[in-house]
Structure 1
Amino acid sequence: MKDYSLGQLALRNGQDRPEIWVCYKGVIYEVTESRLWRDGKHYEHWAGQDLTSELKDAPHTDKVFEKFEAIGHLKVK
């Protein structure tokens, strides 16, 4: 899988480009086709960012990411 920077992830927010991506624990997921991520927003969460710290507020576990294709890794400096 390819490495992406925070800046590249941020562009896939459902507003700047048609792709909608989110990151969890360093893995970037393609969520464009999910009806729950329309326009890059899922409840109070926004696409194009690392959601690792926000999962504790979600009514689901990290198993939810199994539904989506992992397309890359977040490049950490």
Structure 2
Amino acid sequence: MTEVLKEYSRAQLALRNGQDREEIWIAYQHIIYDVSKSRLWYKGKHYEHWAGQDLTDELPDAPHTDKVFAKFKAVGRLKVKS
């Protein structure tokens, strides 16, 4: 049985940027991941990337593949603009 993920808007994702709340979330290909426990996302910053946003377009410039997301729990889906 697959888990149904709650949908979040871009504004809701932006609130989980590691600055105002404990949650540090990022989105990739419409899936939102909780990266709060990663020391690499300390205070919501990972090199030149900031949490609370969709990083799909930034992955081609990263030194790793999308397999890195398997380390993190999926906590939601990013609402698609309608």
Fold shared, TM-score > 0.5 on shorter chain: yes
> TM-score band (shorter)?
over 0.9
Partner of 1:51: 55
1:38 deviates by: 0.3
Structure 2 residue 12 is matched with structure 1 residue 8? yes
The aligned residue for residue 68 of structure 1 is 72
Q: CA deviation at 1:52?
A: 0.1
Determine the structure 2 residue equivalent to 1:26: 30
* Coordinate RMSD, CA, aligned: 0.5
The runs of 4+ residues in structure 1 deviating greater than 4 Å are none
Higher alpha-carbon Rg: 2
Give 5+ residue unaligned stretches, structure 1. Answer: none
Q: TM-score, normalised by structure 1?
A: 0.98
Q: Secondary structure at the match of 1:53?
A: helix
Shift of 1:18: 1.0
Counting matched residue pairs gives 77
The letter of the residue matching 2:38 is S
Deviation digits for residues 7-48 of structure 1, max 9, x if unmatched?
000000000211000000000000000000000000000000
Identity between Structure 1 and Structure 2 (%): 73
